[in-house]
Amino acid sequence: MSSHHQVLVIGGGTAGIMVSAQLKRAKRDLDVAIIEPADTHYYQPAWTLVGANAYDYQKTARPMKGLIPPGVHWIKESASEFKPEENIVVTAEGNSITYDFLVVAPGIKIDTSLIDGLTEALDRDVVCSNYTDPLHTWTVLKNFKGGNAIFTQPKTPIKCGGAPQKICYLAADHFRKEGILDNTNVVFATPGTVIFGVPAIAKTLMKVIHRYGIHFKPFYAPVKIDASNREVTFKSVNPEENNCIVNEGNVLQERTEGTYSTVMPYDMLHLAPPQTAPDFVKSSSLANEAGWLDVNIETLQHVNYQNIFGLGDAAGLPTAKTGAAIRKQAPIVVANILKLMEAKSITDMKYNGYSSCPLVTGYGKMVLAEFDYKNNFLPDPQLKKMLVFDSSKEHWRLWMLKKYMLPYLYWNKMMKGVPV
């Protein structure tokens, strides 16, 4: 079976639905199709709160069929191969779909094989992740009685880079409320060099870390999980200086192993699993050397094929992979496709790398990091007027934004192609 469409979109996630909806709003008679195999669409930004028992998991899920924009063809299959020279996408089911324009937005792939032992350990016993099973995260948190509570993330890019530390702060606040924080060593271990790349945000987050007494471990990259002994091994990402250091007193009961590795016992372990672009993107001629979709970082047009665009988590863009980034990327992709249809050239619109990370720092508290490719702090003027004067500081109104306003805007505006 084969079919042809003016615009073919790969992916029924945030990016794919937004672009499809905005295209149909701009040009009602446009022939748009989405390739997406899933029956359910999840609002994953709320999973941070689900893992801390502050949001209902069921409210994060909606049937895909209710989100496919009216008039858009739903091809309920999986994309498996690109033939860009022929304007063809081949599905896993063996069907060839041709297009005039292609939008690649398949999201990101979780690859647990990149950390030794993670496949066997994840979502079992006291190893958890809001990225895969936030309900299990809450089970682990509520059953935790003290000891080492370790929160970490991999060296690979991940969805919402701030998510691993959000649950760390919520967990520390939960332990405080339960009266066990004094009996707990909360650890945030990251391959990064700083807590956050935007200085104004980092300043606030370091105060949060000191408030909860969190052990902050930069340069720590998780490489192995030994679930039977409840130990996690970290390797220094800066081996010349070996920044995996066993501190004096050693309250975490760490031990060195080899030259650049440190082994740490855990009583609970939360981590963001390693993530990559989907295999059919990585292995294609559309990918860059790192395996991500090779698009111009300002126009989102593929560097080699003018009728192909990419956005969202699979795109090779040097900014945080968030829904807020997609909110700014989608209108540029839509405008450029519509312009190409009429004038054989794209618009002058440029994507500046804008992304936003709502950093929950405790129950009822949040910081909002908004930034561009250069890590400039870019608070939204309208949001500033509505909510708080300085979103780089903790505020309860920002918590309300995260828990109530953003989900509403997502389902009722973004998913329907309404500009927000």
> Domain containing 185 — which CATH number?
3.50.50.60
Asked if the structure places residue 399 within a domain, the reply is no
The residue annotated as part of the active site, out of 128, 168, 244, 357, is: 357
Query: 411: which 2 tokens?
Result: 């389902």
Helix extents (H) in 267-322: 279-282
In a domain, 91, yes or no: yes
Domain assignment of residue 81, given as a range? 2-108+277-352+406-416
Domain end position, chosen among 237, 253, 272: 272
- Same domain, yes or no, for 256 and 166? yes
**Same domain, residue pair 120 and 267:** yes
* Residue 268 parent element (H or E): strand 268-271
Q: What is the structure's pLDDT at 248?
A: 59
Segment (H or E) for 190: none
**Average confidence (pLDDT) over 241-269:** 82
The answer on pLDDT for 27 being more than 90 is yes
Q: Which residue has the tokens 């450029």?
A: 336
Looking at residues 404-415, what average pLDDT do you find?
96
Instruction: Report the percent of the chain where pLDDT is more than 70.
Output: 96
In terms of domains, do 87 and 147 share one? no
pLDDT of residue 293: 98
Mean pLDDT of 394-417: 95
Structure tokens at 392: 């780089």
pLDDT of residue 259: 76
Taking all residues of the chain, what is their mean pLDDT, rounded to a whole number?
95
The pLDDT of residue 353: 97
Q: Which residue in 128, 160, 168, 244 is the catalytic one?
A: 160
Q: How many distinct structural domains can be found in the chain?
A: 2
Average pLDDT over residues 187-213: 96
Mean pLDDT of 28-48: 98
Closest C-alpha to 181, from 140, 219, 208, 147: 147
**Do 91 and 210 belong to one domain?**
no
Give residue-wise pLDDT tens across range 202-225.
999 999 999 999 999 999 999 999
DSSP for 356-367, please give it. EEEEEEETTEEE
Q: Distance (Å, rounded) from C-alpha 62 to C-alpha 39?
A: 9
Cα–Cα distance measured from residue 8 to residue 20, given in angstroms and rounded to the nearest whole number: 9
To the query of whether residue 357 is one of the catalytic residues in this protein, the response is yes
420 in Cβ contact with 26 (< 8 Å): no
Q: Binning pLDDT at 50, 70 and 90, where does residue 380 land?
A: confident
Same domain, 176 and 98: no
Residues 293 and 308 in one domain: yes
103 and 116 housed in the same domain: no
CA 237 – CA 92 distance, rounded (Å): 38
Closest CA to 40 of 13, 62, 56: 62
Question: Do 184 and 36 lie in a common domain?
Answer: no
Domain match, 266 and 283 both: no
The span from the CA of 320 to the CA of 194, in Å, is 15
The structure tokens 């948190």 sit at 141
Q: Which two tokens stand for residue 76?
A: 């309920």
Domain boundary among 272, 289, 321: 272
